Amino acid sequence: MRCNEKCGGFGLLPSLNTGILKITFLIGILLCSTHILSQNYLRGYVVSATGQRIPSVKINALEGKQVIKTNMFGNFGFSTPLKSDSLLFSCDGYDSVFVRVKTDNYVKVIMKALPSSVIFTKDNFSVLLNKPTAEKERNFRDETYLPSGDSYFINTKTSPGIAFSANINRASYSNVRRLINEMDGLLPPGAIRIEEMLNYFSFNYKEPPKDSMFYCATTLTQCPWNKKNELLFINISASKIDMESRPPNNLILLIDASGSMDMPTKLPLLKSGFIKMVNNLRTQDTVSLITFGDRVNLVLEAVPGNEKEKIIKAISKLEADGPTPAEGAIRLAYKIAAKRFIKQGNNRIILAADGDFNVGMSTEKELITLIEQEKRNGIYLTCLGVGSGNYKDSRLSVLAQKGNGNFSYIDNEQEAERILVTDLSKSLFTVADNVYLSLQFNSQRVKSYRLLGYENDKTTLKDSLVQLKGGEIGSGHSLMAMIEIEPGAPASAKPLAKLEIHYRKPMEAKSLSYSFAIPGNEVPLKSTDPELRKAIAVVMFAMKLKDNESSKQISWKMLQNMAKVSMDRDNYLDKEFLQLVYKAKKMYTHRRKYGG
């Protein structure tokens, strides 16, 4: 009986199980070895046409369906089951490159830089966007910025006038604030845009006369960093819409909810700001909410502004996850904006993201074409940038420009509230489209001149005016422009220059203009309005941060003295400005190179 029980399997079971486990283990090792042996390795490096290694290049393995980036030395490598693959290399500031590669080759990829200057002639017009700049200025710690050249003097005998696009962008100042507070070295020059630094402050706003779109004031004074030269201030104030009769809003909130947004300074910051904005909506306003992360998701469509609880609940539930399928999200946003279009209303998409989209170069060009087409249909695009590390300032600024909209950067809770609540009417309600300014100088009175800022949005004029693509101006916005002048003949009764403001009313095709003669009498610097001296301090600060040839004329002591006498210490923003100057002085004095 015991033998039968034993032979029945109970006695042999342990040894049999042990044998099966051994066989299974050996098979597993063989399978694993086969899998490992079947893996191949694609590797190489990426350089510019001048041989400089390019970090943070996005590489799409089209067949293996992988997305990686080059490291800080421009190298890349990844495992793949394939023996060859088609790779698409893309990076802001460079032409995309498509390469077919094999795993047994060490790949060298050369990317050609896009031109940072465009010079062409048409009839008797000479158009100059900006001077070339070094390629290394394009990429900074995986953040990307448009090239930035130095402003330079233009002789009035060859080009007696200049035109530049007006806008209400102010992303540069808050981004510069973030960079100064989180790093210890030189800032990327492309991050510093003088006109946006000025836009951040409201200098001397004055209500335009009744039935006028703009109020314009000019002042000519001595240049503090070059006593031989003069500074011309142009201060333009836009009319305000009647808050009681504000047009209804058709708002499309397009929020990046991808994995890269899972940081306190990204998605949580946006959620907090948008919730505050929703609390100020009216019944006649509508809100649509589209997110893009693991997929493109239409969360809300045309929900009335009085259903605040529903909108806030939807925003509060947003979580960051997945890649960044921006293309489909942007297309859907324009589709919904067109579907819910309000005639005589404010139809606007608000894109909030870090700008690190999974979009190829060809698709990006298609999106820009789409955005330019839709702006003609009365749909505006506002871009809100957030975050650090992978922040793509270059992409968001271009999208806002092409979308006839505006661009801001949110670095903290206070800034989110300022943009989405306090100053919302300035960026939300457009009073003038395609706005640009043209100046024709008296060549006898002015020998040469340079516009401070607007490196990518200015045009020199020869004989006639160039039709420059203008920007959007919001309700109650105050714009300040500053031109350094090398005088010719002494001051006289003749005007210094002729100023024209060109614009169109929203949704109207007719171009309008307002002309104005600028007097040539100089006011002593000490007698100028304190607000103008504050503007000088902001420009001097931007010039020092750029650390270019022009900045050598300005000492940190000169800047600090100007800031101290012009800034109001009881004003939070002015007090903060003084602190930023102090921090930047310490950083730049040590001359630690940025990005390395």
pLDDT at 317: 96
Q: What distance in Å separates the CA atoms of residue 14 and residue 18, rounded to the nearest whole number?
A: 6
Mean pLDDT of 14-20: 49
Q: Most confidently modeled of 28-32, 40-44, 442-446, 546-550?
A: 442-446
Please name the residues in contact with 71: beta carbons below 8 A apart, sequence gap of 6 or more: 55
Look at 147 and 258; give whichever has higher pLDDT. Answer: 258
Q: What share of the chain has pLDDT > 70, as a percent? A: 84
**Helices of type H across 340-450:** 361-376, 393-402, 413-417, 424-428
Please report which confidence band the pLDDT of residue 95 belongs to, taking 50, 70 and 90 as the band edges. Answer: confident
Q: Quickly state the pLDDT bin for 458 (edges 50, 70, 90).
A: low
Number of residues in the chain: 596
Q: Which of 135-144, 150-159, 274-283 has the highest mean pLDDT?
A: 274-283
**pLDDT of res. 121:** 25
- Whether 334 contacts 370, CB under 8 Å: yes
User: How large is the average pLDDT for residues 202-226?
Assistant: 93
Per-residue pLDDT at 72 exceeds 50: yes
Is the pLDDT at 182 greater than 70? The verdict is yes
Of 294 and 155, more confident: 155
Average pLDDT over residues 402-419: 92
At 316-336, the pLDDT tens digits run 999 998 887 788 899 999 999
Range 533-560 average pLDDT: 93
Instruction: For the chain, list the domains and their CATH numbers.
Output: 38-111 (2.60.40.10), 119-241+432-590 (2.60.40.1230), 244-425 (3.40.50.410)
| Residue 192, pLDDT above cutoff 90 | yes
The mean of the pLDDT values for the chain is: 83
* pLDDT higher than 60, residue 494: yes
| Residue 462: predicted pLDDT | 46
Closest listed residue to residue 175, CA positions, set 350, 320, 354, 326: 354
Q: Place 347 in a pLDDT band, splitting at 50, 70 and 90.
A: very high
Q: What is the pLDDT of residue 242?
A: 85
Q: In sequence order, what DSSP letters do the residues of 503-530 get, joined into one string?
A: EE-TT---EEEEEEEEP-PPBPGGGS-H
pLDDT reported for residue 74: 87
| pLDDT tens string 510-537 | 889 989 899 999 999 999 999 999 999 9
